[in-house]
Amino acid sequence: MRLPEVFASQPFAVSIEIFPPKTAEGDEALRRHMQTLVQHKPAFMSCTYGAGGSTQDRTLSWCEEINSDFKRPAMAHFTCVGSSRDELNAWLDRAAAAGIQNIMALRGDPPQGETEFKVAAGGLGYANELVELIRNHPSEFGIGVAGYPEKHLEAPNMDVDLENLKRKVDAGADAIFTQLFFDNANFFSFRERCQKMGIEIPIVPGIMPITNFARIKRITSMCGSVFPKDLSDKLEAVQDDSDAQFEIGVEYATRQCEELRDNAVPGIHFYALNKSQACQKILEALTR
């Protein structure tokens, strides 16, 4: 099922994002967690694509497994990094042959050890160009793109960032999935500004439940997400108690999701970090 059909067929579509593990043991652990997650019938599951295309084969194989073994539609992440147009089209050919119907189109981050994005020879420099390439491919993919409620780190200001987003939408995107955030007011403001610009496709909030304070601090420092002081203070007070961190994080994310659901979001995209426990608790609370 392609993204337009997903959002047309249900008022609230939950989706879950995973990443390819690095070991066989990690693969098996992820499969166990996914067995739990699919019991909640997510509308689809997505799989990331490593920096510099480092996991592109694993991305495809995991998406095939999502489709075949877990019986959920898959969305494969796809970036411009390190590839020419011909190589990008060849990857799309493989994705279509693997039965993948949805693509998350991203410019991509620089490969490890590099500080800035560089256009590959014969390649693309922007996500809107990648959306256009996918839209012009013979296969009819559903296309997701990223949105940034608190601005992309490289954008000089929010106006420029929203203009970049509008280019991706105009190029043929079907849905926007946001960067993680912890203040719903920032998402609602972002959504309102998108609507005023004439963006009418689904805007899906991205939620990452906090399960470890140190890890979430690293993640937010890399992506620029605002971390509320009251939440930081609560987690700081229990930084030596992993169970308490988990409970505080899940409770906070549950309240976030309930408020988002009650304010007519088309769904929620969970950054599960290859674990099931936090998402399971949140989804159980949302269906009570």
Instruction: Tell me the C-alpha to C-alpha distance, in Å, between residue 63 and each of 32, 45, 98, 102, 267.
Output: 16, 8, 8, 10, 21
3-class DSSP state of 272 = coil
**Angle, alpha carbons 172-174-177 (nearest 5°):** 120
In sequence order, which ranges of the chain are alpha helices (DSSP H)?
Answer: 3-9, 24-37, 56-68, 85-97, 127-135, 158-171, 184-196, 213-223, 229-237, 242-262, 277-286
H runs (alpha helix) in 184-275: 184-196, 213-223, 229-237, 242-262
Distance CA 168, CA 148 (A): 13
Q: Is the dihedral of CA 246, 251, 254, 259 positive or negative?
A: negative
Say how far apart CA 141 and CA 26 lie, in whole Å.
29
> DSSP label at 199?
-
Cα gap 242→237, rounded to integer Å: 11
Whether 192 sits among the annotated catalytic residues: the reply is no
Which of 17, 129, 132, 150 is the catalytic position? 17
Give 201's Cβ-side CA count (13 Å radius): 24
Q: Which helix (H) or strand (E) holds 49?
A: none
CA 113, 118, 121, 127 dihedral sign is positive
Quick one: how far is CA 243 from the chain centroid?
A: 26
Active-site amino acid positions: 17
